[in-house]
Amino acid sequence: MRRRSPLLPLSLLFFFSFFVSVGAETESGFRICAYNVQKFDSEKAADYRVMHTLMKIVARCDICLLQDVRDPSGSAIKTLVSSLSRGTDRYEDEKFQAVSSKSLGRSDADQQKYVFIYRTKKVSVVDQYQYQNKDFFVRAPFVVRFKGKKTAIKDFILVPLHSEPSRAAQEIDRLVDVFEDVSKKWNNTNVMFLGDFHAGCAYVTRHSKKSIRLFSGSKFSWLIGDKLDTTVSDETSCAYDRIVVHGKPFVKAIVPYSAKVFNVAKEFKLMKSKVLQVSDHLPVEVRLKSSAPLLQATPLLILLGVSVIVSSFLSAL
């Protein structure tokens, strides 16, 4: 009788663990998020419950754009980033960092910042640029160029917009001018637009879309659809928050069907009243593919790999 190799079960376990880890990595991917955090200031940063929920939301993302940040001194964002990075002192590359615009707005009572919080292990900031044409926007985009360390598309540009509701259609249209400006400046057309565009309900109608170049331009892909709801309240159902990408290379670098609205209440099992303490908006997100070929393995390939290993093991019995 043939002796059973004692190494086979161990090998099987090793390879099975490997394929499972590959599948998990493929599922998580590189996540880019945008979240209107609704008047985030030092008072909110001092609220433990608000910060606990906000940290869980931001920590899911490798890059998270925060909007409606009312933090002139920067202390609230410093508290958030410090809390996210706490406990990672031994692993410097696991830390989070933030890059922020100055306070933007046309009145002293409504000064807001765009803030990108990013995971330094996976991405770095290459450059930043404050769009200068103040006639086009109430809060002109603060554009940041990133370099992904393990993403299929290495060099990409994020253009945020928190539109003025009454000017939403005009401001969304002007994002095309921003695209032309920054793509020429950095010789890079891998551009993603994201944020609270107010691109739904009464602010942007089916009729008004006809005059918006970001809608009509064939090279711009809207990843968050019109029928989705990016608000928390049951009384509204509007696709205000959006993600839009330019060009086929960027579209191909995105994990299919990964663009979605993250339902904070459902995923974290929270009452909506608790979620509303953080914001009346929900985060939107999308995942980028990894540059590592093995991490592009589909679930079918993973199952096939496991099947081959199991068959080999059984034949050796």
**65, 160 contact by CB (below 8 A):** yes
Give the Cα-Cα-Cα angle 68, 63, 199 (nearest 5 degrees). 50
pLDDT in tens, 280-307: 999 999 999 998 654 444 454 445 555 5
Q: Which tokens in the block code for residue 143?
A: 């554009």
What are the residue ranges of helices labelled H in the chain? 7-28, 42-45, 48-59, 75-85, 168-186, 206-209, 213-216, 248-252, 264-268, 272-278, 299-315
Amino acid in the structure at residue 20: V
DSSP state of 316: T
Pairing of strands 63-69, 113-119: antiparallel
CA distances from 167 to 69, 134, 164, 208 (A): 20, 13, 5, 11
Any idea which residue has 């942007």 for tokens? Answer: 204
pLDDT for residue 23? 42
- The amino acid that residue 47 corresponds to is D
Tell me what pLDDT residue 68 has: 98
What's the pLDDT at 16?
43
What fold characterizes domain 30-289? Deoxyribonuclease I; Chain A (3.60.10)
Q: What digits encode the pLDDT tens for the residues 60-116?
A: 999 999 999 999 999 999 999 999 988 554 445 569 999 999 999 988 889 999 999
Which positions of the chain have pLDDT values less than 70?
A: 1-28, 87-94, 292-317
Q: What is the pLDDT of residue 108?
A: 87
> Per-domain residue ranges for the chain?
1-28+293-317, 30-289
Give the pLDDT of residue 125. Answer: 98
The pLDDT of residue 86: 82
